[in-house]
Structures are given as structure tokens and as C-alpha cells.
Structure 1
Amino acid sequence: MPQLEVDGAALTYDDEGPHDGGGVPLVFVHGWTANRRRWDHQAAHFAVRRRVIRLDLRGHGESGGAGVKTVAELAGDLIALLDHLGVRRCVLVGHSMGGMIAQTVALSHPERVERMVLVNSIGRMAYSRGRGLLMGASTLVPFKVFVAANIRRAFAPGYPKDEIRAYVEASAGTPREVVMTLYGAMRAFDVLDRAGEIQAPTLMIHGYHDIQLPVRQMLRMAMAYPDAVVRIIDAGHELPVEKPAELTAAIDAFVTDKPA
């Protein structure tokens, strides 16, 4: 896989599909403790006819590096990758923390974002009581227990337990420093008061059963956006893998202006 060195970290990425025609590139950004493979279904669908870029964020997946302390720093890594690839304008698709990164880019570099898709993401972190208790217990329980508790509750009831275990194991492979530092970074994330500045047409697509970042928080964000479309799907927080076909179809309809 190709890599780009940014501030001492080797960032692994995929750059697939035709580089001419088919519209501006789609850039997929995964969430906390995940990796670029979360977008396998979407990449396979879109790369047939348009350029698709996805990366492992610093300290995640096959990317190196640690020490990142804010969502803005991760957004800086993304901009560095887009500069390296010569991408001046794109459709940004971000899941959870990836959606926070996308919003940060849309605010700091609005000329780079043609459209934006926020998947199970919000503009201001407001922990539920359960998430707050997990945060408080984060230093009192073994690291793998903390990660497992967060990942298991991300899926809607009834999702196959074997598959959840596989995601728990993958997430636990993310370095502890990265996991805990970015947990704090998400807690500090807040761009809700600036949401009105984001002019890019935005699709906000959320899982009805998301207890990590509840629907009501997303709806509060949607009301502040000048140009937002909201879609609710019968799933939890992990829409890219819980309902991949539905998510792909919704993104496709949005980026091509087709009826959903």
C-alpha cells in the first residue's frame, strides 16, 4: 500500500478508480479505533467509475505515528494527503470521528469540499450517561475491557456477536496512547456554533439505534446547517458495516442528485 510521510508518521492510503471523469474524488475518513477497511463496500461500488481515496488515520490500521492530540491535527494530515495527491476539491465522507475531521476541513478549507457526508457524526460531543460512565472508568479498568465495552455498544441489538468480536479485536490493536488521547480529543470537539458557516451541501445519515452519538445530537447539528439532508437508517453506530448497501445507496443518490 502507498504511504505518505507527514510529521514523522507514515500514513497508509488507497487511491483507486479512474482519475479523470466521473466527478470529483470521494474521500472516505474512518472513525476512532477503526481503519480504512471500514469503507470496503463503498470503495468497491464507487471506484468502478470515479476516484476513491481512503486512509488509515495516524496511529490506526497500517499507519504509524502517535502523539496527535486534537481532531484538527488529524484534519491537517488529511489535507497533507490531498495536497500530495493533487486533489484540490472532493466529496468528504466521514464516519463518527471521521465526520468531525470532515467538518474541521470544511471550516478551515471550504474551497476543498464540494459536498460532505456525515455518517453517525455530530458537531458537539455530548456524552450520554452510559458513555460518561465509560469515560470515568477508562483509567480504572484494563485497556482491552474499556475498548471492548465501547465497541460492543456501538452495534444495534441483534448484530452477529462473532462479527462484533472481530471488530473488538481490531480496535484493541490500536495503540493505547492513540485510543485514549483521541477519546479526549473527541470530548473536546465542538464546532456546533460554527455550523452555519459550512456552505457545502451535506448529507447527515445516522443509525436510529446509535447510543454512542444519539440521533437527537445529530438533529441539533442539522438544524444549524444551511444546506443539510437527513437520513435515518435502522442500525446502530457502525453504519458502514451494519448496513453497507443502504449507506452506499444513500451516498450514491446524494452525490449524483438522484432520488433516494
Structure 2
Amino acid sequence: MPKLEVDGAVLVYDDEGPRDAGDVPLVFLHGWTADRHRWDHQFAHFAGGRRVIRLDLRGHGESTGAGARTIDELARDVVALLDHLEVERFVPVGHSMGGMIAQTLALAHPERVGRMVLVDSISRMTYSWARGLLLAVSTLLPFKLFVAINIQRAFAPGFPKERVRAYINASAATPREVVMTCYGAMRAFDVLDWVDEVPGPTLIVHGYHDIQLPLSQMLRMANAYRDAVVRIVDAGHEVPVEKPAQLTALIDDFVTTPA
């Protein structure tokens, strides 16, 4: 299990697949309170034919380190890892907060990002007055209850309850400081006015039943991109684990279709 020390954190990562395939590596970026295993289905599929990289973001999963106060900080960790692995060009595949990191990378390093995949993510966190107040109040709840409420509502109705409980328990194992600082980083994230500068094609996959990051906000983002392909999936916010095979097929089709 390879590790890299970056700015006070130790990042655990996986780097698999052939180096001589000629394809640009895929870099999988997980979401808030999750870990690199959210991508198990996609990682296993693509590792057979191309280089694939995934990491536990700082403070998440098996990685250590304090929580990031901005999405930029998390993006810098990813750049440090890719520089260490001598990866110049790559395709970021980001879920939720990972999609925010992917967009940050594409805007900061357009010469390195040819195309991008965003799953259940947005470019600007927008709230009504009432929802903003509700979210602010929710941070005052006991920590485990705060996490449980947020993870529970991430899944579409009908997703197996025992699997939801397992994800809640895994998320609650993330240090409180990491959970809350990254939560603040997501709430402050806003690149909507700049995403039209992303030069390459972008695949946007979103769960129809996503109430964490609503479909309407995603469509507003998609409309701001120069070259976006949108696919709606019958799932909630956790498309990588709710509809893994469908997501893998969509990504496969996107990355193998000539630009």
C-alpha cells in the first residue's frame, strides 16, 4: 500500500494498470467522508487496460492529516501526488466533493486535463434562506447524528438499509475536525463563473433522486460548460455505489470516444 507525505498529511493511494497502454491515466477522487474504495467497481474495470490512480484524501480513509479548509488545498494534494508519480496528463473522475476538486484541477492546470468526469457534483453551492438555516443548525447536532443524517439522505429510497448503515459507520469514523472543515470548504466552493474556461469535454453524471446536490443545480452548472455531456441515472447522490456498472459503462464510453 503506497503512501506519500504531503504538507503534514500522509496520503494512501493505489496506482495500478499498464504504463505502456498509451491512454491518459484516470484519477479517481472520492467525496466528503468517503474513501478511495467508493471507486472499487470502476477501478477494477479500468485497471485491466489503462493506468488508474486513486487516493484517500487527507484525513479520510487510511490517510492522515488535518482537514482541508478549502477545495484548493485538496487539489494541491492531488497535484503533489501526480507530480510524485510523474503523471503529466490525466483525466480526473470526481464524485461530489471530488468533483469540486476535479474542476479546481481543470481550471488551475488546463494543460494537464484533457477531459473530465463529474459525478453528483456542482460548481457552486446554492441554498434558499430556509435550507441555509437548516444546514447551519444541523452543524450543532451531535457529531454522529450530523453524519448519519447527511449520509442517510444521500441514498435513493430502496437502497439496502444494511449497506447505508455501513456507509454511515465508515463516515462517522472520519475525524470530526476533518468532517467539519471539509464541510465548510464545500459550502464555500464557487467556480461557476469560470467553468466556461475548461477547454476539454466534460461528462456529467447525476442521480435523479440526488437531494444533497439537487439536479437543478447540476443543470445550471452543465449549461455553463462549453462542452458537456449530461447523463441522468436512476439513483441518489451515491451513483458510484448505487449504480456502479452503469456508471462504469458511461465513463468507459466517454473516455474511449475520440474528442
TM-score range, shorter chain: over 0.9
For 1:109-128, what per-residue CA distance to the aligned partner results, in whole angstroms no more than 9, with x for missing partners? Answer: 11111110000000001136
1:226 maps to a residue whose letter is R
For 1:21-69, what per-residue CA distance to the aligned partner results, in whole angstroms no more than 9, with x for missing partners? Answer: 1411000000000000000000010000000000000000000000421
Q: Which consecutive segments of 4 or more residues in structure 1 shift more than 3 A? A: 127-134
Larger deviation: 75-84 or 123-132? 123-132
CA RMSD of aligned residues (A): 1.3
3-state secondary structure, aligned to 2:77: helix
Partner of 1:172 in structure 2? 172
3-state secondary structure, aligned to 2:39: helix
State how far apart, in whole Å, the 2-side matches of 1:28 and 1:67 are: 19
For this pair of structures, how many residues does the alignment match? 258
| C-alpha spacing 1:256/1:147, structure 2 compared with 1 (3 Å) | same
Partner of 1:253 in structure 2? 253
2:212 maps to a residue whose letter is Q
Partner of 1:230 in structure 2? 230
Matched, 1:53 2:53: yes
Q: Unpaired segments of 5 or more residues in structure 1?
A: none
| C-alpha spacing 1:179/1:253, structure 2 compared with 1 (3 Å) | same
* Contact 1:128-1:212 within 8 A present in 2 as well: no
TM-score, normalised via structure 2 length = 0.97
TM-score, normalised via structure 1 length = 0.96
For 1:137-174, what per-residue CA distance to the aligned partner results, in whole angstroms no more than 9, with x for missing partners? Answer: 23431100000000000000110000000000000011
Matched, 1:196 2:196: yes
* Contact 1:96-1:122 within 8 A present in 2 as well: yes
1:253 maps to a residue whose letter is D
| C-alpha spacing 1:37/1:134, structure 2 compared with 1 (3 Å) | farther
| C-alpha spacing 1:132/1:47, structure 2 compared with 1 (3 Å) | same
State how far apart, in whole Å, the 1-side matches of 2:171 and 2:107 are: 29
State how far apart, in whole Å, the 2-side matches of 1:86 and 1:127 are: 40
Matches within 5 A, 1:80-119: 80-119=80-119
State how far apart, in whole Å, the 2-side matches of 1:196 and 1:120 are: 19
State how far apart, in whole Å, the 2-side matches of 1:139 and 1:232 are: 30
Partner of 2:126 in structure 1? 126
State how far apart, in whole Å, the 1-side matches of 2:165 and 2:102 are: 28
State how far apart, in whole Å, the 2-side matches of 1:134 and 1:21 are: 49
Percent identity between the aligned chains?
74
